[in-house]
Amino acid sequence: MLNENITRENVSFGSGGKAGPLTGPGLGVEVNRQNLARLSETSESMTRPATLKHGFLLRN
């Protein structure tokens, strides 16, 4: 649990633990990157490695 939201949408639960539907694409929420960066203790960037196919470099 966080003390502050890291999503732009309100995803808090209402009376009896019920929540409304999330309507956005994917998981239904958009991350507030500023809050996430401020609340993070560490940060790491991850990328997929390029692969070779038939001698050509492909970006994944």
Q: Tens digits of per-residue pLDDT, 18-30?
A: 888 888 888 888 9
φ, ψ (nearest 5 deg) of residue 15: -60, 135
d(CA 35, CA 26): 20
Domain regions of the chain by residue span: 15-58
Q: Per-residue pLDDT for 60 more than 70?
A: no
d(CA 9, CA 17): 17
Q: How many residues appear in the chain?
A: 60
Q: What is the mean pLDDT of residues 36-48?
A: 81
